[in-house]
Each structure stands twice: as structure tokens, then as C-alpha cells.
Chains A and B, each alone.
Chain A
Amino acid sequence: MSRLRRAGGRLRALFTGRSLDEELDDELAAHIDLAVDAYIERGMTAEQARRRAMIEFGGIQQAREHHREARGFMHFDILLQDLKYTLRTLGRDPGFTAIAVLILALAIGANIAVFSVVNTLMLRPLPFPHAQQLVWIAPPPTKCGLSCATYSTDAYDEFRAGSRSYQDVTGYFAFSSAGNLSLKLGSAPVTATSIDVIANFFPLLGVQPAIGRVFTEDDARNGASPVILLSNAWWKRQFNADPNIVGKAFDMNGHQTTVIGVLRASFDFGAVFAPGTKVDAITPLNLYGPPRDWGNIITLIGRLKPGVSLAQARNDAERVAPTMCWNNKQPQTCGDYKGAVVPVPLKDYISGKLRRALVVLWCAVGAILLIACVNLSNLLLARSAARSKEFAMRGALGASRGRIVRQLMTESLILSGAGAGFGLLLAFTLVGWLANQGAIALPLLGTLRIDGAALGWTVLIAVSAAVLFGLMPGLRMAGGNLHESLKDTSAGSGHSRKHERIRSILVVSEVALACMLLVGAGLLLRSFMHVLDVDLGFQPERSAAIKVDYDDSVPPGSPDGASIQKRTAIFQQVLSRVGAIPGVEASGIVDYLPLSQNRAWGLPFPKGVKRPEGIDNGPLVYVVTQGYLRAMGTGLRGRDFAWSDGPKSEPVVMINQSFARFLANYANWPNRDPVGQLLSSGPNNDLRVVGVVDDVHEENVDGEAGWQIYYPATQAGPSGAELVVRTTLPPAVLANTVLRTLRDLNPQQPLAEFIPIQSLVDHANSPRRFFMFLVAAFAGLGLLLAALGIYGVISYTVTRQTQEIGIRMALGASAHLVERQVLMSTLRLTLVGVSLGAFASLATAKLIASLLFATSPWDGVTYVAMAAALLAVAALSGYIPARRAARISPMVALRAN
């Protein structure tokens, strides 16, 4: 009760503070008057009495302070007072305030943005309910690409039935290619990308539609009428967000397909499972239709039962794997999946590879914050040196040491608060921009946003920054000897020298940090340049691809090879028409472009040679027409396919160099040359090798090229057609002509995009580019801040030594000598910082070793270049104060004080 009343009293005191102060003043005045009266009564003069009364009373101001302290929310009172005072002082020095806030805004903004990225990719759970239960089920990485990372429908059924660890297992068709959906709206068809998923896909992930419903088992049965789910983005873009879309049917790939629902904007298939690609629609995968015998086509995703650990799930998978068959009708394929069924947390699969890069990024941005804090500390020290007398005066008037520190801390908090405010704006812009960078192949980028966690992080770093940069100058200031400060009118006394030493230490540490950042950025930059230099096995410049629609279906009962003949005719016509377009140098057709998708068909082996045990991964398969290699700029030894390689002539293939080298180890080929030799791909299935092709980077730019085999589209069945055109003109110029030609030949040809091959390479390099760009930007910022710091310190030193320099010049030192001395002291500081930074870099370079490509983490060139850059910048920032020092006129300097 009494506590309550007391709190009430204090609260009242807070709001009526002014009148309480006035009342107290009245009371104190009355006290003095009463005392004066009493002394006068005792015979003193009025003046003596007043003096006596004042002495007896002690300090009026102290009494007021004590009174306030006893009665009110003292801290709050002081805070308000400090706030007012701080805003006034900062307002008096707008230059300092602006620079400080700008530095902090840059550093804090970068930190918030990077935190948002880290949070989205690494810290936050995936955007599904109970996401920790979700696992990705795949074999350990192998050479044969997607075909070895997927499972057959039989294997899926067996795994789903045999495992005990899962609530359910689902999957999707891994081989859908971009632009596989042709939607007929009005006259011209539109292409889109759709993915086939197993019917239980959405219930398993826990994803609800925005409108309509998700798939049921019935949608995926044989003979079910075709249905489709639209992505939120496509629904808005293509269907104008039609709220009555559900139930409407459209002609898609020639079938009337009913829209059964629209997904929420928060679910983006591409963002989670295929970073950097956009998926417009989802269709149900009929497990019991034609895909039954397509081999490995399904990627598996499981949801663990509650309480089942990953280790248990692994053991369970090991138990089930031997019972899974590639094809139930071929008992010899049972057990093919032994050791190839490994569940990993879905999150690890999606963002695990990025962890190291994210940690490095986080460190880099943390270093930026540190540098900014050091800079601020330095600025505040310089400022506090100028204010030391003010504080000494306040101390003399009774302000306690804690009170002064509190005042200074308020100042730092206000600065960092303002910095955080602007930083947040900056981060909002950055994050908004990043979230729309669909072309960067990073997962979940679209879900990037500044959320509660990011705001919390902002507050945390703002406060820690304030403590970091504010506490030291604060303590120094408040700890300063009162008398010394008041006396310290002439520069160069002990106190200032101590200041200067601290500032030098700060600058050295700042330079060291900037040096580490620069070295890191330099290493990443060099790696990136090496990546750009990689011989991809094809020449992406002036090459572009467009998806071609064709129909090679033939009525049932047609003779063997009728479909191939139809397709050959179509392709031949397309290539002859496109090849005739002026500016087209070469053209050809392939089913899978490099750096996009791939598949494998088993392992052809030299004829008559026994295949060794244990190798069952086959080369990646590309089905191409003649001219494709030339259109891609891929080198070839031997001959290209020809239209004459038909279904009735001898089956031919081309293989790449890696595969040729591998096979040559087993075969008895003259000169180890496979050209002209026969490979066996099963009983009565011999393939004549007609050419050896350069290794093409099929999956990534910075990895090793694997085995590849090329089949002619005139003999084998392609899974689509990408027309590749090599031009003498920029590809974009030809886009319309090529599309018109295709439309001429086939009115069904959808409005597909003419994709420069370079963009495939850029897409594959985008994560590396992204990280390199960010780290380089941070290094640049660090360099700038370090330069500012150096400039600040040297400039301050010169100002402080004006008199000394003046005397020396009066005694005969030349301007040149003075300038050189200032520059030398700058370089000395920098050199110490650079040495420390280089040493620290050497020690920590291992951290980024795994992010580098063909670059040693101790790459000498980078270290030397970065040290030189830092020294140059330091010299530049020391040059301005050095010039100023050299121009000091002795007379003016000596008269100044």
C-alpha cells in the first residue's frame, strides 16, 4: 500500500516536476529568511546574518539535487535533462553530428541487411510448420548429376511403405525444364514453368492455398482430368489476380486444364527447391502413369514423426534401402539404392552450403561496425578534448563523475540511435532490392524482409555500438584531473599527449581491421576472376537459346521410327530456316542446356571389355542435332552428327574427353583414341563413337566437369528442344526474327524467351558474385572509414602542434621537412596497422579458404596489393593535414596563443 502511494507520489512528481521545484525553492527561500531573522535577532547585521545562514545551509544547488533525487524518478529526470542538453550540444556542431550519424547509419544499415540475409538463410526455420521435421532424402553427391540424386517410382513406393520414421514421404519430378508449360490464351501461346509434385506434397509441407484447394490423390490417378495450382505471382501477372479463377479451365499443353487453386505468396517453390528460378504453376504427378518406367525421376522429401531423431531416420533408411528396387520387374535392380538413401535436414540441403559464406559475410559486416565504432570513438575523443574544460567546470560545480559519464553515454546513445534509424532505412532499401533479385541463385531470397528479429538486432547493435564508442571517451573525460584540465590551456601537456596515444592505438586497430577486410575481399575478388577465366567447354558470348515447341507424336500403330522421322523433319526444317537468317553463324538443338538440368542413362562401356564392379554411375546424356556443338562453341575431334545418322543407320555417339580418358583405361584402343570404336550399352545395343568433345561444365562453373555422352536426336529421344544460335550480332537483335521464323513453322510455338547463354553462366556464378560484391563493398567502406580515421588523427595532431611547428619553422625547418615529417608519422601508424592486419589475416585466412577458387588463402599478390592500397590511401589522407602543417606561418602560429 505505502509502496503504491510512494510510486504514485513519484509519478506525480515526474509530471508536476516544475511546480515541485518551484515549491522547493519557496521553501528554501523561507528557510534562509528564517535563519537570517534568527541571526539578526542575535544582533548581527543583515549582511552577516545572510552569510551565516548560507554557510549553515550548505549548497543550495546540492540541496535541490538531493531533493530531486529523493523525490522523483531521478534517472528519468536526469535522462530528460541529458537528452535536452545533448540535443542542444549536437545541434551546435552539425558537421560532427552529420558525419557521426552517417558513419553509424552505413555501418548499422549494412549490419541489419546482412543480419536479415543470415537470418533468412541460416537462422530462421524454413517457412513451413514444424520445419525441423522436414528432411531431404538423397544419395551422397556423385558424378552423374540429377539422375543419381533421384529415385524411381517403385523405389519411392517401397521407401514410403517400408520406413517407420516418417509421418509421410513426398517428392517431385526433378526433370521439369523451364518453360515446359504452354498456355493458350487468345492467339499466341505463353510459356510458363510448372513442376509435377506427388499429391501429398502440400499436406506434408503444411502449405495451404490462398484460394481453392491443393491436390488430392484423385487428381493424380490415371484418367483424372488435368488440374493445376497457380503460383501467387503468376496468378497476379497472367490472370490479373482474378478472384474467380478457381474452376476455370485453360488450354495448357493441349489439354483443358482446370485451375483448382492459387498458392499463397509466402510459398515459392523456386525459392526453396530451385534457387534463382521461377516456378509458375504446380501440377500433380501421376505415379502410376507413364512416369512409372522413366527410371530415377523423383526427389524425396520426408516429414519425420515427432521425436524421431535424424540418426534414427538414417538407420531406418539404411534398413529400408536394400529392399528398394529401381524397377520391381527387374529383380537384379533391387538393392541398387544401398547406401544411397540418406536423409539430411531439409534446411541443410537448402542453405547448408552457404553457411560458411554467410558466416564470413557476417564477420565482415561486424568488422565494419567495429571500424565505425573506433572511428566514432576517435571523433568523440577529439571532441571531448575540446570539451574537457566544460566538463571540469561542471565537476567543480558539483556534478559527480557518474553524472558526467551518464551525460556522455546519453550523447553516444543518441548518436547511435539516430544512426540506427537511418541505418534501418538503408537496410529496408537494400533488403527490398535484394528480395527482388530473382536472378541470384540463393534460396529463400524472395522471403527476405526486416522482421522482429532484425529490429531486435538493430537495437542490440545500436546499444552495443554506443557503449563501445562512447564509454572510453566518457571514462577518460570524467576521470580527467580537474585542475589539470582547467589549467591545460597550452597544447602539448601530458593530458593531451595521453589522448593522442589512445587515438593512435584506435587508428592502428582500425587500419588493421580494414586491412583484414581488404585482404578477404581481395582473395574473393581474385577467386571470382579465376572463375570467370574458367574454360567452360563452351563459349557463352554471342550465343543464345530458345525453347522450341514441336510435336513428334504419331498415331498408335505407326511403324518403328515414325516418330523419329517426324522429329528429324521438324528439326531439319527449323535449323535450315534459322540458319538462313542473316547474322546466324551456327545453330543446333539440344534437350538440356549446360548449367541447367541434366540426366544419365546408364554406363556404356567399350565393347568386349568386362565392366569393373562398383562403377554404376553413367555419364550425363545430351541429345543433340548436328550443329549444336558449333553453336555452343564447343570443340570437337572427329565428326559431328549428320542428318544421315537415322534410325536405320548405325547408332552413333560422341563422348567428352573425361569419359574418353576413363574408358581408355579399360579398352585396348590404339593411341587411347576412342574415335571409331564401339561402345556397348546393353545387349544388341552397340554405339559407334564418332567424336570426342571438350569437357563442358554441366553443373557448375567452379567444379570439375564430369562424364558426358551425346546422342543424335535423329536416333535417341530428346526430352525437349532448346534451339541454340550463335550469332555475329548481339543475340537480342535476332530474338524477334528467330521467334517469327519458329512461329511461321509452327503456330503453336509459344512466346518463349531468347536466353543468352551468358546468362546461364551468370546465374551459376551469381552466389559467388553476390558474396564477392558484398564483401568488396564492405572492404571499400572499411577503407573509407579508416582513411577518415587517419585523417582525423593526423589533422588533430597538426592542429595541436601548430605552435611547435611554428617554432621549428621559425628556427629554420623548411616547409618541405615539416610536410615530410607529418606524412612519415601517418605512414608509421598505417604500417603498424597494416602489419597487424596482415598478420591477423594470415591467421584467419583459413576461415575463407573454402570460399576461394584456385586462390591460396595466403596469396601473396593479394596481400601485397591490399597493403599497398591501404598505404596509398593513408598517405593521401595524411597529405591534406601535412600540406596544412607545411603552410603554417611561424608568426601567425606564435601569435595565436
Chain B
Amino acid sequence: MPSSSKLDLLQGTLDLMVLQTLTAMGSLHGYGIARRIEQVSGNQVLLNQGTIYASLVRLEQRGWIKSEWGISGNNRKAKFYSITKAGRRQLAVDARHWERLTGVMDRVLGMGKDAGEAIGESENPA
């Protein structure tokens, strides 16, 4: 699969994905989170799974997620992460911010298609 067809992640979006994944899935280990993001994105995201750990430690230091060692389904020792209350609040804030941003981007990028009509209308109020 040529990597050029995959999406490069925008700065900060990985953190948001991790928080959302943990909200949806509850407690999960790093591999699980990475896999889940890849699956949900339909394998469209270019993710070196390793980079997830920098994101995890960052979020943990901010107090948005917490971690503890546990045993996975197939009996392997792994570190499990779950979202905290503060994390949920942050997720709400970030998600809203993201929605606004995508809304704006949609409108800006949509400008070309029906721009003519819109401008035409506004120029002839009578």
C-alpha cells in the first residue's frame, strides 16, 4: 500500500483521537488504541504506532488520562489507559473546537461550487 495515499496527521489531532477512543472503548492498552484508530479511520491514517506513546504520556501528564498495568485478553501484561473526568471535559472542549474548525473549512472549501449564485444573489437585492 503506497504511503502517499494515507493521511498525514495534523498536529494535535492524535491527542484528540486518543481521548475519543478511550471515551468510546473504556480502558485500553497502547496497541489497542493504535489499532482502533487505524480501524476506525479505515486504514487511511498514516500512523507509526510508536508515536502513540508520546501522545499518551503527554495526556497523562496533563491529567486527562490515567494508566495502570493489567492483563490483556490473551494473557499479556500491558499498560491500560482510561480517560479521567478532566479528560472528558477537555475532550468536549477540543471536539467543539474541532467541529467549528471543520465547519469553517467546509464552508471555505465549498466556496468554489456555489459561489457564483451566492454572489449573484447578494449583488441584486432588488
A38 touches B86 (CB 8 A): no
B54 touches A70 (CB 8 A): yes
B61 touches A57 (CB 8 A): no
Chain B positions 14 through 36: 1 when the CB is less than 8 Å from some CB of chain A, otherwise 0? 00000000000000011110110
A450, B55: Cα distance in complex, Å: 51
B12 lies within 8 A of chain A by Cβ: no
Give the residue of B35, B55, B77 whose beta carbon is less than 8 angstroms from that of A38: B35
Contacts of A2 on B, CB cut-off 8 Å? 62-63, 86
- Chain A CB count within 10 A is highest, among B50, B54, B55, for B50
A12, B65: Cα distance in complex, Å: 18
Q: Tell me the interface secondary structure of chain A in the complex.
A: helix
B53 touches A34 (CB 8 A): no
B74 touches A6 (CB 8 A): no
Least CB distance from A34 to B in Å reads 4
A5 lies within 8 A of chain B by Cβ: yes
Contacts of A9 on B, CB cut-off 8 Å? 60-61
From known contacts A5-B63, A37-B74, A71-B57, infer whether A31 and B51 are also in contact, taking CB-CB under 8 Å: no
- Chain A CB count within 10 A is highest, among B58, B61, B78, for B61
State which of A60-68, A257-265, A578-586 sits at the interface with chain B. A60-68
A28 lies within 8 A of chain B by Cβ: yes
Please give me the residue from chain A that is nearest to B32 by CB atom: A34
B13 lies within 8 A of chain A by Cβ: no
B76 lies within 8 A of chain A by Cβ: yes
B53 touches A66 (CB 8 A): yes
Give the residue of B51, B74, B77, B78 whose beta carbon is less than 8 angstroms from that of A58: B51
We find that the number of chain A residues with CB closer than 8 angstroms to chain B is 29
Least CB distance from B25 to A in Å reads 15
B79 lies within 8 A of chain A by Cβ: yes
Give the residue of B48, B49, B60, B77 whose beta carbon is less than 8 angstroms from that of A30: B77
Contacts of B102 on A, CB cut-off 8 Å? none
A65, B122: Cα distance in complex, Å: 55
A58, B54: Cα distance in complex, Å: 13
From known contacts A27-B30, A70-B58, infer whether A34 and B50 are also in contact, taking CB-CB under 8 Å: no
A66 touches B54 (CB 8 A): yes
Please give me the residue from chain B that is nearest to A12 by CB atom: B61
Least CB distance from A221 to B in Å reads 80
Least CB distance from B82 to A in Å reads 15
A28 touches B79 (CB 8 A): no
Which B residues from 44 to 90 make CB contacts under 8 A with A? 48-51, 53-55, 57-58, 60-63, 72, 74, 76-79, 86
B51 touches A34 (CB 8 A): no
A744 lies within 8 A of chain B by Cβ: no
A69 lies within 8 A of chain B by Cβ: yes
A58 touches B48 (CB 8 A): yes
A34 touches B48 (CB 8 A): no
Contacts of B57 on A, CB cut-off 8 Å? 67, 70-71
Contacts of B63 on A, CB cut-off 8 Å? 2, 5-6
- Chain A CB count within 10 A is highest, among B31, B35, B49, for B31
From known contacts A2-B62, A58-B48, infer whether A35 and B31 are also in contact, taking CB-CB under 8 Å: yes
Contacts of B31 on A, CB cut-off 8 Å? 30-31, 34-35, 38
A208, B86: Cα distance in complex, Å: 65
A10, B58: Cα distance in complex, Å: 10
A653, B76: Cα distance in complex, Å: 117
A63 touches B61 (CB 8 A): no
Please give me the residue from chain A that is nearest to B59 by CB atom: A70
Contacts of B32 on A, CB cut-off 8 Å? 34
Give the residue of B35, B62, B78 whose beta carbon is less than 8 angstroms from that of A6: B62
B54 touches A63 (CB 8 A): yes
Contacts of A10 on B, CB cut-off 8 Å? 61
Contacts of B61 on A, CB cut-off 8 Å? 5-6, 9-10, 70-71
Contacts of B35 on A, CB cut-off 8 Å? 38
Contacts of B72 on A, CB cut-off 8 Å? 30, 34
Contacts of B50 on A, CB cut-off 8 Å? 28, 57-60, 62-63, 66
From known contacts A2-B63, A63-B50, A63-B53, infer whether A31 and B86 are also in contact, taking CB-CB under 8 Å: no
A2, B49: Cα distance in complex, Å: 28
A31 touches B30 (CB 8 A): yes
A57, B47: Cα distance in complex, Å: 8
A56 lies within 8 A of chain B by Cβ: yes
Q: Which 4 residue pairs of A and B lie closest in terms of their CB atoms, listed nearest first?
A: A58-B48, A63-B50, A66-B54, A34-B31
Q: Can you list 22 A-B contacts with CB-CB less than 8 angstroms, sorted by A residue number?
A: A5-B61, A6-B61, A6-B62, A9-B61, A26-B77, A27-B30, A28-B50, A30-B30, A30-B78, A31-B49, A34-B32, A35-B31, A37-B74, A38-B35, A56-B49, A57-B49, A58-B48, A58-B50, A58-B51, A59-B50, A67-B53, A67-B54
